Structure 1
Amino acid sequence: MGTLHNGLHADHIQSALTGSAAAQSALVASWRRSMRLYGLNPGEGTPPNVLTERELNEARERLGSLIHTAQASLDRLYSAVGGAGCCVLLADKDGVPVDRRGSASDDETFYRMGLWTGAVWSEESEGTNGIGTALAEQRALTIHREQHFRSKNTALSCTVAPIFDHRGRLMAAIDVSSARRDLTEDFVKLIAVAVVDAARRVEAENFRLAFPKARIVLAQDAQNALSERAMHALIAVDEDDLVIGASRSARHMLGLTDESLSKPVPASDVLGQHANAERDYAIAERGAIQRALARTGGNVSAAATNLGISRATLHRKLKRLGLS
């Protein structure tokens, strides 16, 4: 029965690659890469390649603090889907799971299928699959059962969302996989929402940790204020109100690049709030003086000393700014 299924699945893939749908379907495009670019055979039944313990440790080290950063989000995600027979994986950008959540009662099944830390699930190695294809296409997706390239993986339903680092580069992916045949389409949709949410939470926390002294601002886009991209468009602003970092969503929404961020950029310019320079200076000066006065309990002489100006100069500024 398994051999028959393998043959039918392989025939289905070959037919799709030569049919009219090939030019329109992202799934068929992935099947085409699997067969023609990577030279894979859909009927091949060998399990995924597995890294050595040393190689797995090196992969974890390359991810740095992300594994620790992702812990809470992975735990929250598993608490939502684990009872339904799903496992949760955090994979690096090469498609190798480096962390995992799963029920002991399901471990044997998932281990046999290769859904385990150290297994290589890149598209190049396994063909169309949730982790590998989401990384190859850099987008969230579900590969459900027969959508997998290899026949041996068609018992799986895998929903994955990529994670991008603080510079917008592909870094990792979160996967929820199930081998249950009674997994409904509606539940898969709920899993997809939860997986994307978990990935964006990890991204946001990683972004904040990358700019520990900066103010993190949600970029606003009036035309797309409710879009998923807008809700995760973060920029990092330093004490001088200069933009020093932007998340992938913010880069796409505001047209920012590594090159444009390599030079000082006022946050007001990036956010489309092109304010008058003199007014900006007056606001900043007013704020500095008010903070100095607050720290000295209203003592003008002490405030002037802290600001590095004379008492007479401070009095003139107070009068000009309407603070006297």
Structure 2
Amino acid sequence: MKIILTGGGTIGSVSPLIAIKQELEKQKIQADYLWVGTETGIEKNIIDKQNIPYKAIKSAKLRRYFSGWNFLVPFQFLVGWFQSLKIIIKFKPDIILSAGSFVCVPVVLAGWLLKKKTVIHQQDFKVGLANRIMAPFSSKVTATFEKSVKDFSSTKTQLTGNPVRQEIFSGSKEKAMQLFNLQPDLPTLLIMGGSLGATKLNKLIFEAVPELVNICQIIHITGKGQEIEWVDKEKFGEKANRYHSIGYLYKDLVHAYAAADLTVCRAGMSTLTELTALRKAMLLVPIPDNQQEENARFFDSKNAVILMDQKTITADQMVTILVGLLSNPNSLQRLQHNLGSVMLEGANEKYVEFITSLIKKKK
């Protein structure tokens, strides 16, 4: 069996596909893999560590606002499409799997032209532009939420839930204590702005840190190039050592998860899936005017998260909310409990069963 996995630009479109590869290996299903991703995305280092051969293609992202870069999109797409044709013809995959992102579009369309079986996965609550473009050309669509089945053709859409990487369950609180120099008697606040960081969220946290370190210790994953050095020992003494800023985490993120009593994060579905699987209490600050807002609203409707609007929240408001949560274990436990009713479980097994049966079917 030969499988092309395609996704990139951010970790969000990468994690579910890695989870699928892991599940196939767990079930001892033999396959040769090839990853098709972006030329400059963050995903290549991750894929290399998974021992998956990697091919980069030109990726075109259509901006939904006026930008001179949009004039280049047709040309970039054509280059990526021809590159995809060449890759598919040479590799001869039995199936092409995508979890969304613009780099997947030329790959899926090339697969359609070459009559290859293709499956796109709809992670988010709201359908993104890339999946809207790809859906008519895909063989099947898998979906995280039941709502998404209605967003696509019912004859080609299967509800599976969102696959989750198995290593997230291997995190160690003790290991986190060593890695981040944490204190065992303090609650731990984990802050993540996504794989590419979040400047606005980082600024809010930076303003809130002097108050937050009075009651907790902080692991702040800022995004590459956005590391914040916050040290003012003259004013805050030993409490300055309660703030730990890291630009980027992937392998050791599982240990940060294990240590976290509360997480402040965006609302990308891969992150939400992993934290939900671990039953980690969350305060969400989704990217405004983005499909993340729909993800966050759905979780909020289940009383499973605390939702804040980036456009209106202040550092003082964030401090008040976080202090209230960290000081009230019952509130955290209630959020953790409610996460149990948000997402479909057994997604890895359901997805693998679906694609293996699809591969066996005649074209």
Which category of TM-score, normalised to the shorter sequence, fits these structures?
A: under 0.3
Choose between structure 1 and 2: higher helix proportion: 1
When normalised by structure 2's length, the TM-score is: 0.22
